Each structure stands twice: as C-alpha cells, then as structure tokens.
Amino acid sequence: MTVFASDNVTSACPEIMQAINNANKGHVDSYGHDQWSKNLDKKFSNLFEKDVKVFTAVTGTAANSLALSSITPSYGNIYCHKISHINVDECGAPEFFTGGAKLITLDGKNGKFSAEELNKNIRGSGVVHNTQPSTVSITQSCETGVVYQINEINEICKIAHKNGMKVHMDGARFSNAVVSLNKSPAEMTWKCGIDILTFGGTKNGCLDAEAIIFFNSEDVGNFHYLQKRSGQLLSKMRFLSCQLDAYITNDLWLKNAKHSNFMAKQLSDKLSRINSIELAYPTESNEIFIKVPKSIQDHLNKNGYSVTPDEMFDGSIRFVAAWNTTQEDVNLLISKIEEKL
C-alpha cells in the first residue's frame, strides 16, 4: 500500500475510464485526426477564454521538455527553481529536448522564486560567451505544494518579458493551484503573462494525459514535428485525447482537485495539531510536507506507508492527497502516527 506516496499511485477516476472505454469503438483516423483530438483546440480555448493551440504528451516530463524546447534555443538559459521538477526529476529531459539548454537554478522560500531573485540572476544577454536568457519556468502549484499568487506570477512574467524571455508554467498540478487560488485558468496564466503551459491530467485522475498549451499562436512554429520526432505522437491518439476531453468536461478536473485539496487540508490540520510534528510549508494545495521524528517515520514505513526525508525539502517527508483520498485514509494515517507519540 502506498496511499499518500504520490498522486500518481492512484488509479484513474471513473469518468476517465468511461471515456476510454467509450472511445474504444470502431475505426478512427489515427495520429490525431480523430474527433476528440480535433476538438481539443476548441475545448481548451473555451476553458482558457482565448484561442489556444493544444498538443498532447503522455508524460509530464515529455510535456515540459517539449514545451521548453519550443521556446528555448540550444544556447538558451532556462531559469527555474533549484528544486523544480524540470531540474531535479526529469533526468535531463529538458536538456535533451532543447539540444543542450542550460537550467539556471534560483533560490526562494517554500519552493517559489521571486521576481527579484530572477532579476538579479539574469546576465549575459547579447554576450557571445554566455548562454542566452531565453525562458523562465515556474511550477504551479510548486513542488512544495505552495502556490504562486497572481501578483507573484505577474511580476515574474514582467521581468521575463522585459528581458526578452518567454514564460513556461509547469502545471503538473495546475488544477490544484486553480482551486487553491480560486481563480480562473485564464487569470492564472495568459492574463498574468504566461506564454506556454504544461497542463497536467495524470496526477489528478487521468490515466496518462498531459497537454501543452500555447497561448500565443506565433510560438507554435513547427512544434508538430518536435512532438512526432520525440515519439509523443500516438497512433491511437483518441485514447489520450478522450481523457483530456473528459477531464475538462463538466468540471471534472476541478471536482477532483477540490477533493484532493480538501483532503490535504484536513490531513494537514490534523498533523499540525500533533506536538512533535512541524509543517515544513503551508499546505496550499494537495501536498503536505512535515518534519517528524525518525521513530514515527520508521513506524509509518513498517505500516505500509512509504516516506523518506528529503534534504531538498528541508528534511521533511511528503504526503500527497489525490482525487480518491478518503476520510478513512486520513484517519488511518493519523492513528498510525498517534500510535508512536
């Protein structure tokens, strides 16, 4: 049992599975010429209140790296937080897809970097010896579960654009951030200046479905070839597109995220009331990081949880709530911890 280990240890939610089963009928044009795929631009344009161009990928790593490769030259800099997923958890995929771009890591509290931190690290524009400032990438909600506020995104985008850079948002947990901020998808992205978004579905109830969303059509360029060339253009594309279709239909994505954020908050509240436990970061979406005595860690691992203190997260351990986290899951975890107090 690995409940709470991550939001990717969960199954797919019923609506997504239904969509896949429904799509499994008859002969359908391949490589994105099916009805679901052809409809994605329109559906996402409605969702984002703007004409957007949508592409798909099966993993967040591929989606992020493809997105970055479309706005970053091989000699470009990508500014990102030092604990960002693209920097520490994708085995160098951004470097691979971009042909060798450089990730410039920034510091910042709670997994977020500030516009000032970004600003003071920009250097070398126009100098032939230096890799060139090209791209800024922020994760929303970020790796600690903390959420960038609208004004923070705004300021980062302003600095980026002022320096001729594009801004990418890694939205592996985009839904959780939207719910947390109670803002519209548009407000949290292009209205702030975001140029390109990785819109994640897999962690929030999909089987394997990520979208790359271009807010400016002029950035799209020949992206289609990059997607194909990286092995991300599925022949039976319907099975991916139908997931994204169902995911943004009837607010399924928000319903799932509301649930996981809510369960995370419950768990966080209960944990924070325990004396020997300290929240490493405020719980703003569906991830909880706590500092906890080793005895409790060991006890949890013995009881089927899977927790490891991580230096990158200040030595804390992580719990992630998901679309299907239950009240019983929360209670059981708390009771297991209480056994060791």
* Distant-in-sequence, close-in-space partners of 256: CB < 8 Å, separation ≥ 6: 13, 175, 204, 205, 323
In the complex, the smallest distance separating the C-beta of residue 46 from a second copy, rounded to whole angstroms, is: 25
Three-state DSSP string of the chain: CCCCCCCCCCCCCHHHHHHHHHHCCCCCCCCCCCHHHHHHHHHHHHHHCCCCEEEEECCHHHHHHHHHHHHCCCCEEEEEECCCHHHHCCCCHHHHHHCCCEEEEECCHHHCCCHHHHHHHCCCCCCCCCCEEEEEEEECCCCCCCCCCHHHHHHHHHHHHHCCCEEEEEECCHHHHHHHHCCCHHHHCCCCCCCEEEEECHHHCCCCCEEEEECCHHHCCCHHHHHHHCCCCCCCCHHHHHHHHHHCHHHHHHHHHHHHHHHHHHHHHHHHCCCCCEECCCCCCCEEEEECCHHHHHHHHHCCCCCCCEHHHCCEEEEECCCCCCHHHHHHHHHHHHCCC
Under a CB-based contact definition with an 8 Å cutoff, are residues 181 and 153 in contact?
no
Residue 10 vs 261, nearer CB to a second copy: 10
Residue 207 vs 254, nearer CB to a second copy: 207
Q: How are beta strands 317-320 and 287-291 bridged, if at all? A: antiparallel
Residue 142 vs 192, nearer CB to a second copy: 142
In the complex, the smallest distance separating the C-beta of residue 192 from a second copy, rounded to whole angstroms, is: 27
In the complex, the smallest distance separating the C-beta of residue 332 from a second copy, rounded to whole angstroms, is: 13
In the complex, the smallest distance separating the C-beta of residue 240 from a second copy, rounded to whole angstroms, is: 8
Residue 31 vs 301, nearer CB to a second copy: 31
In the complex, the smallest distance separating the C-beta of residue 336 from a second copy, rounded to whole angstroms, is: 15
Residue 189 vs 204, nearer CB to a second copy: 204
Residue 88 vs 279, nearer CB to a second copy: 88
Beta partners for residue 233, in sequence order = none
Residue 231 vs 315, nearer CB to a second copy: 231
In the complex, the smallest distance separating the C-beta of residue 75 from a second copy, rounded to whole angstroms, is: 4
Residue 240 vs 290, nearer CB to a second copy: 240
In the complex, the smallest distance separating the C-beta of residue 220 from a second copy, rounded to whole angstroms, is: 13
In the complex, the smallest distance separating the C-beta of residue 243 from a second copy, rounded to whole angstroms, is: 11
In the complex, the smallest distance separating the C-beta of residue 156 from a second copy, rounded to whole angstroms, is: 21
| Angle ∠(112,160,44) on CA atoms, nearest 5 | 80
Residue 45 vs 105, nearer CB to a second copy: 105
Amino acid at 340: K
